[in-house]
Amino acid sequence: MWYLAPLSNADIIASTTYHIVPQLTTPIRLQEYGVGIFASVPTKSAWKKVLNKNLVTVNDTIANTATFIKGGETISLLKPLEPKTRKKLIFELKVIFEDEHLAIIHKPAGILVSGNSFKTIANALPQNLKPSCLVDATTPQPVHRLDYATTGLLLIGKTASSIRKLNLLFENKKIQKIYYAVTIGEMELSGKISSEIDGKNSESLYAVIHSVASEKYGLLNLVKIDPKTGRRHQLRKHLASIGNPILGDQTYGKEGFILKGKGLYLHAYSLEFTHPFTAEQIHVKDNLPKRFTKIFGILK
C-alpha cells in the first residue's frame, strides 16, 4: 500500500543552496564531483544543464562544465524560492542493510526505480531510510537500476561522496551482482553470452541450477546469471538471443508463450563489494521470491 503525505514547512526549497568542498587529494571536475551533493541535481547530465544556465557558482564565480575544484571551495546552487509540487510518497520498503553512507533495499516488482512518475523507489527512499548524520548527507539515491518488473537488491547512496564512490565502483566493475531467472526451453547447462547492446560490448555468464518439465512450456529452468557488464535489458536480451527467454518477459519473450499478469521471473539475488568507506566486505543476499519456489521448490 502507498499513499500521499502532506507537505510540511521543511518542504520549501531555499533560493540558494550551499556546499563546502572538503579537502581533496586530487582536483576533480565540478560536474563529476557534484553528483549527489544537491538533491535537485542528481546526475552528470543534470549538472551540465544547471551549469549551462549559469545557476552554479564556486567561490562566487559562475562555474561552467570546465570548472575544476581542489578542495575548500563553496559551491552555490541558485534556485527561485518555490514550494515543492510533489508530495511525499509513503510506500513501505524492506531495508536489508543500512549505515550512514549507503543502504541496500529490496525492490518489489511493479515499481520504477526512478523517473518522471510519482510512484518510484527514489521518491519512497527518504521515508524508509534513516537520515545520514555525515556532513555531505543528501537525499538518498539509487546508484543503479532494475527494470519495472524485476525484483531484488538495489544499492542506495546516502551521501554525496558515497554516491560518487559507488558509481565509480560500478564503472570499474568492482561490484559483483548475481541474478536468478526462470527461462523457457532446453538450454546448455552453462555458457557465456556476448553481444553488442546500444553500440557497446556486453557479456553475461550463466549456469542452469535446476530444470522441471512444464506442460505449457516444455521445460522451465532456474538459471544463475553473472552479468559482467550492465547494459539496458542485458539479461533479458541475452537469454532471448539464445532461444531461452525469461518467463513473463512481454518484450523479448516468444509469441504465444507470454505469461500475462504474473510478472517477470528475474530477481537480483546478491550484491558483493568492498565498502568504499569502512573497507568492510559487503555480501548481501535476497531470497528467491515465492513464485520461484512454487516452480522449483526450496533448493539448497
Q: 270-284, pLDDT tens digit by residue? A: 999 999 999 999 999
74: domain CATH number is: 3.10.290.10
Question: Which of 114, 138, 172 marks a domain boundary?
Answer: 172
Residue 257 lies in domain: 177-268
pLDDT value for 253: 84
Statement to judge: residues 198 and 263 lie in one domain: yes
Statement to judge: residues 151 and 102 lie in one domain: yes
Statement to judge: residues 139 and 215 lie in one domain: no
Statement to judge: residues 264 and 183 lie in one domain: yes
Please report whether residue 296 resides in a domain: no
Please report whether residue 276 resides in a domain: no
Statement to judge: residues 216 and 196 lie in one domain: yes
Please report whether residue 248 resides in a domain: yes
Cα–Cα distances in angstroms (integers) from residue 166 to residues 6, 178, 208, 284, in the given order? 32, 17, 30, 16
pLDDT value for 104: 98
d(CA 97, CA 133): 17
pLDDT value for 14: 42
CA 241 to chain centre: 25
Please report whether residue 79 resides in a domain: yes
Statement to judge: residues 76 and 153 lie in one domain: no
Statement to judge: residues 263 and 191 lie in one domain: yes
Confidence band of 299 (pLDDT split at 50, 70, 90)? low
**Residue carrying the nine cell digits 559551491:** 75
**Mean pLDDT, range 145-153, rounded to an integer:** 94
Question: Which of 172, 201, 221 marks a domain boundary?
Answer: 172
3-state helix, strand, coil in the chain (%, to 5): 15, 40, 45
Cα–Cα distances in angstroms (integers) from residue 210 to residues 174, 181, 184, 222, 259, in the given order? 29, 11, 12, 5, 20
Please report whether residue 236 resides in a domain: yes
Statement to judge: residues 167 and 182 lie in one domain: no
Statement to judge: residues 255 and 181 lie in one domain: yes
Please report whether residue 7 resides in a domain: no
188: domain CATH number is: 3.30.2350.10
Q: How many domains does the chain have?
A: 3
160-209 pLDDT, tens digit each: 889 989 999 998 999 999 999 999 999 999 999 999 999 999 999 999 99
Statement to judge: residues 168 and 182 lie in one domain: no
31-81 pLDDT, tens digit each: 989 888 887 788 888 889 889 888 899 998 999 999 999 999 999 888 744
CA dihedral of 77, 78, 84, 86, whole degrees rounded to 10: -50
Confidence band of 262 (pLDDT split at 50, 70, 90)? low
The whole-model pTM stands at 0.74
pLDDT value for 102: 97
Please report whether residue 186 resides in a domain: yes
Question: Which of 172, 190, 218 marks a domain boundary?
Answer: 172
The answer to whether residue 24 scores a pLDDT higher than 60 is: yes
Mean model confidence pLDDT for the chain: 88
Statement to judge: residues 50 and 68 lie in one domain: yes
User: Which helix or strand (DSSP H or E) is residue 212 part of?
Assistant: strand 200-214
The answer to whether residue 246 scores a pLDDT higher than 60 is: yes
Share of the chain above pLDDT 70, in %: 89
* The one-letter amino acid at 220: L
pLDDT value for 9: 44
